Amino acid sequence: MKLPLLFFVVLSLALSSCGSFRTPVGMRNPSRGGGSSATVERSRTPRPPSRTEDQPRVRKPEKVEKARTVSGPTAMVRTELVSQAETLLGIRYKYGGNTPKEGFDCSGFVKYLYNDQGLDIQRVSRDQAKEGTPIDPETARPGDLVFYRRGPNQPVFHVSMIVDASPGAIWVIHPTSSRGVIRENILASSYWRPKIYNVRDLIR
């Protein structure tokens, strides 16, 4: 009877002591998932802005066509012709007119300018169109004359003097019956452009 009783007492003590080996709640490994574990976020290094973000695009400058410069032995005469013509802008138109006081027609205007520089030319535009040397409009310079006609078999009826020229533009000063002495780009004119007959150099 003593042996079974002793075995029962020893077994009871062993079972009651198993709880002492449990890990306390507060001592659990923080690396395991749980509400009390702290989460450490990795710091992110900001990415430097790309070149397109911090450097604005620079547009290439558009190509600008330069006006033809006046040079050579006739440069001074050409410059004076243009300067004088510009002082006459706004003078009224008068058929047969030869002076600023009475007004000008087209051929009287260019004759007045040329005579002022010591250059003698004909009075009528169709006769002026036979003087000097015909030149390519693309090489025209200030002081050269542009002649016009209404059709292939028609006579010259108008003349104007170039004051500025560049690719795509030929600026002239001339008297017109409706507006007097004006400055305009004849290559941009739907009236004058199709009537251009030729360009001539009369400055010798």
| The amino acid at 154 | Q
Q: What is the pLDDT of residue 204?
A: 74
Q: What is the pLDDT of residue 19?
A: 45
Max Cα–Cα distance, the chain, nearest Å: 162
Q: What is the pLDDT of residue 73?
A: 83
CATH class for the region spanning 75-201: alpha beta
pLDDT tens digits for range 163-193? 999 989 999 999 999 999 999 999 999 999 9
Q: Structure tokens of 44?
A: 């992110």
Q: What is the pTM of this model?
A: 0.67
pLDDT tens digits for range 100-112? 999 999 999 999 9
Q: What is the pLDDT of residue 12?
A: 52
Query: H helices of the chain, where?
Result: 2-16, 51-54, 75-87, 106-116, 125-128
Cβ neighbors of 149 (< 8 A, separation 6 or more) are 155, 156, 157, 195, 197
Angle between helices 106-116 and 75-87 (to 10 degrees): 130
Q: What is the pLDDT of residue 14?
A: 47
Q: What is the pLDDT of residue 25?
A: 46
Ranges of the chain with pLDDT below 50: 1, 9-10, 13-41, 58, 60-65
Cβ neighbors of 195 (< 8 A, separation 6 or more) are 148, 149, 150, 158
> How many Cα atoms occupy the beta-carbon half-sphere of 96 within 13 Å?
0
Compute the distance between CA of residue 147 and CA of residue 157 in angstroms, rounded to an integer.
8
Q: What is the pLDDT of residue 72?
A: 74
166 bridge partner residues:
169
Chain centroid, CA 92 distance in Å: 36
- Beta strands, E only, the chain: 98-99, 103-104, 133-135, 145-149, 156-166, 169-176, 180-185, 196-201
